[in-house]
Structure 1
Amino acid sequence: MVAANLVAKDKKLDENNVFAVDDELDLLKSAAIYGANASGKSNLAKALIFMKSFMVNSSREKQSIDEIEVEPFELSTDTEDKPSYFELVFLMGGKRYRYGFEANSEKIVSEWLYYVPKVREIKLFERQMNSFKISKTYKAKVIQKVTRDNALFLSVSAQFNVELAKKILEWITDNLNIISGLDDRGYFSYTLDCLMNNEYKSDIIQLIKKLDLGISDIQVEQKDFTIDALPEQLPDELKKLIFQDGKRKAISISTLHRQFDGDGNSKLIKKFNLRMHESEGTQKLFALAGHLINTLEKGEILIIDELDARLHPLITIALIELFNSKEANPNNAQLIFMTHDTNLLSNKLFRRDQIWFTEKNRYGATDLYSLAEYKIRNDASFENDYIKGRYGAIPYIGDLTHLVDSHV
């Protein structure tokens, strides 16, 4: 997320929402992506999920006959038979890298890795089908001979202990985290692990407490339970499979709430089961809390599709402000999120280059563009202008008046 050469209405945004990498490069701490339903917002996250997974796993999880799970753009005769293109530009160890590949379902068509050690970009390797050009710096001269057509050279290099390849895959694994804000229950386990291992425990609990959810504390308890505790209707074979070592740990997550008497005096602490008694929004915040705190602590990148789903707008704003803050985000972590919440379209929260849109053109292809591309006043109402269609990226709804036949 490269910052544009512009000045915000509120000068504090220029100071807090942007950080300098060097004399020539400034980056943004957050970016919001808007667009109509089916405009391609989620596809951006899905493409990054695929790219990350394929970079890390293509050398070890696929056989030579396995297909690569890419999807060509099929609404154009010019592209339906062409390979899919992926590229990332990232900073690692103070140097800028550019890595990418083109692939169809059968093979890697091309692959490349460049870096900028000082001023000029230098090639580390380049691949065209089975033809490789590899620099001495990359130190992987013979590995191309064992690289399958459907595997990435970078991934194979890491498997054969090429140090730079290993560092890049470690960076992509540790620093680029992508979450679905609609299907976030799968991230419960990460927050739970943080609490159980006392990693970021106090920060996670403070985050939950300060978001005005009525929770004073969180407790995680483990209890042993045996095979006899399982429902009787489960087959004995399944019970034995579950309890191969004779017992398991049952984990419960409880939220603590203060109980008051009729005079408003706090008397007791009541314990609620998180999954059974707390709202969907509270459960989502718990699921996200571990990744949010980890990202801020380590200065990583977090991408959340549908961040605002099931959250109050003020809570969403509070989470964004954590990243747009020198104090809360001293390590320059970055948040990219897809959203429909127009309350966030404010020149008091974002610079113009932090607001992005996805819109399908007449041929069904998605365009991704920034509000910085528009010549507008610094005091313009981003939200009103967006709703009015000035920036595009909204649904144009037909006449629904006669949708239902009133004479039936």
Structure 2
Amino acid sequence: MILGVSVTNFRSIRDTFDFTLEAEAGQSKADNFFEIELANQQKVRLLKSAVIYGPNASGKTNFIRALYNLTEFIKKSTDIRVESSIRYYEPFLFDQDTDQAPTKMSIDFALPAETNYIKYRYSIEFTRQEVLLEELDYYPKGQKHNLFKRAAPTEKNTGKDIDFIHIGKLSKDLGYKEYQVFRNQLLLSKFGRDLPHEILTAVYLYFDSIEVWNALDIIRINSLREEIANELLLPENDNLLKRINKLLRIADTKISGISIRENLDDNRGNSFRTNDLDQEHYNITRSRVSAQHTVYKNGNEVGVKELPLREESAGTNVLFALGGIILKRLERGGTIFFDELDNSLHPKLSKFLVRLFNNPVSNTKNSQLVVATHEVTLLDKEVFRKDQIWFSEKDKFGVTELFSAKDFEGVRDDTPFDKWYMNGKFGGQPKIKEIEFIFDNE
């Protein structure tokens, strides 16, 4: 479970932004949070969902992208060649004090232990060329213990392009050991790819399980669609397939169900493709996904006709992909970050997907969802508490400011958030000039 995230000097997020999923006191909308007990018997209440609102180009996407870069850096760090730059480095470029300064990210999270949860904090600082700091702390008995700390290079702890890092120096239960890692790679990555370790591999797998998606990224959404379809081939995922079928039916897609078959035929025929990338993804898939439609004669059902899912609407394909990963995480646990969740989906459907996380019947694993959107109908007091709502806007220097609804005086959990937002009480709205500005002759 995620407790909080901190980001500094990443794209438009120049100044430190601290995002939290820890719930405030109070029992309003009690289904929207859950409680865990940490190793020191401290109880922490965590939110099941949160939303970031703001106009186009306000920077809300950059926060989601920061999480994507962090998780991708961890998962793929060992693929970076020694002479390569770090492509996950994207500083704020419109300030001479930051355009070459390090990007900083940290994340607080909790992993299950035998009888409770243990809190962890993972932090990194890096430039285009090297990792300046990488640190992992945990709190096995409520007190901070350092698992490893990789600081700025010195003559004692580095070689040419290599850092020497000591694991377990401050933690008696780990055993002292030295590891080598290239300066443009993360040590944590090695424990998911090369070096098994009881604690560090579990931390790596946690980051590997975090889902970060942008509904506007058609290439990745197509890839996700194929990933979900391939998983549905497995007999153990029959229950997931049933739930996806139900989701498509209640969404009024006019689809009665989805059928999944293994694709044994290399001849794909001349079916319609939206683009070459869709053709490429289709060619490599192991599964053939068909949408089932009821056939009628004289108003009576007489059969079923199947069409390739890719020939259905863009919204239906997005729903299959995003709905599939949502239902998968609800079933197995985990955290999802979505940018532009409302893209190609009706606002009521987007709201329904969010409510799945707040409902204890559908979210038995206490999965977490964070979405970024500009769809104001999602800003519903019946769906969110005030501590679940965040706003984004840019100042005149292009710097993103992110802030919580709970920080505004007079805001309660029954405040009509959508009306306050539209009236400008929360900020986070586009500053649109008059029509004459476009059509004057100046």
Q: Using the aligned pairs only, state the percent identity.
A: 30
In 2: Cα distance, 1:19 partner to 1:266 partner = 46
Contact 2:126 2:133 in 1 (8 A): yes
In 1: Cα distance, 2:128 partner to 2:284 partner = 42
The alpha-carbon deviation at position 265 of structure 1 amounts to 2.7
Unaligned runs of at least 5 residues, structure 1: 232-241
The 1:300–1:399 alpha-carbon spacing in structure 2 relative to 1, beyond 3 Å, is same
What is the identity, as a one-letter code, of the residue corresponding to 1:383? D
The corresponding residue for 2:83 is 65
Alignment of 1:2-401 (within 5 A): 2-7=21-26, 11=28, 13=29, 15-22=30-37, 23-58=42-77, 60-69=78-87, 70-93=89-112, 94-130=117-153, 131=157, 132=165, 134-136=169-171, 137-139=173-175, 141-143=177-179, 146-158=180-192, 159-174=194-209, 176-183=210-217, 184-198=221-235, 199=237, 200-222=240-262, 224-225=264-265, 251-262=287-298, 264-276=299-311, 278-378=312-412, 379-401=414-436
Alignment RMSD:
2.5
Q: Which TM-score applies when normalising by structure 1?
A: 0.86
Other structure's SS at 1:97 match = strand
In 1: Cα distance, 2:266 partner to 2:307 partner = 24
The 1:161–1:225 alpha-carbon spacing in structure 2 relative to 1, beyond 3 Å, is closer
Bigger CA drift: 95-104 or 146-155? 146-155
In 2: Cα distance, 1:219 partner to 1:318 partner = 24
The alpha-carbon deviation at position 109 of structure 1 amounts to 0.8
Other structure's SS at 2:82 match = coil
Other structure's SS at 2:433 match = coil
What is the identity, as a one-letter code, of the residue corresponding to 1:395? P
What is the identity, as a one-letter code, of the residue corresponding to 1:36? P
What is the identity, as a one-letter code, of the residue corresponding to 1:84? T
Contact 1:194 1:290 in 2 (8 A): no
The 1:348–1:61 alpha-carbon spacing in structure 2 relative to 1, beyond 3 Å, is same
Unaligned runs of at least 5 residues, structure 2: 1-19, 158-164, 272-279
What do residues 56-92 of structure 1 show as CA deviations (whole Å, max 9, x unaligned)? 222x212221111202212122212211101111111
Bigger CA drift: 193-202 or 347-356? 193-202
In 1: Cα distance, 2:366 partner to 2:285 partner = 38
What do residues 305-339 of structure 1 show as CA deviations (whole Å, max 9, x unaligned)? 10001111111111111111111111101111111
The alpha-carbon deviation at position 194 of structure 1 amounts to 2.5
In 2: Cα distance, 1:61 partner to 1:402 partner = 50
What is the identity, as a one-letter code, of the residue corresponding to 1:164? I
Contact 2:226 2:287 in 1 (8 A): no
In 2: Cα distance, 1:142 partner to 1:172 partner = 23
The alpha-carbon deviation at position 289 of structure 1 amounts to 2.7
In 2: Cα distance, 1:350 partner to 1:26 partner = 15
What is the identity, as a one-letter code, of the residue corresponding to 2:36? V
4+ residue runs over 6 A deviation = 227-231, 247-250
The alpha-carbon deviation at position 123 of structure 1 amounts to 1.7
The corresponding residue for 1:234 is none
Other structure's SS at 1:147 match = strand
Other structure's SS at 2:177 match = coil
The alpha-carbon deviation at position 157 of structure 1 amounts to 4.9
Contact 1:155 1:165 in 2 (8 A): no
The alpha-carbon deviation at position 261 of structure 1 amounts to 3.8
Bigger CA drift: 95-104 or 374-383? 374-383
Contact 1:213 1:282 in 2 (8 A): yes
Contact 1:32 1:354 in 2 (8 A): yes
What is the identity, as a one-letter code, of the residue corresponding to 2:291? T
Other structure's SS at 2:435 match = coil
Give the length in aligned residue pairs: 382
Q: Which TM-score applies when normalising by structure 2?
A: 0.80
The alpha-carbon deviation at position 122 of structure 1 amounts to 1.9
Other structure's SS at 2:307 match = strand
What is the identity, as a one-letter code, of the residue corresponding to 2:387? D
What is the identity, as a one-letter code, of the residue corresponding to 1:258? T
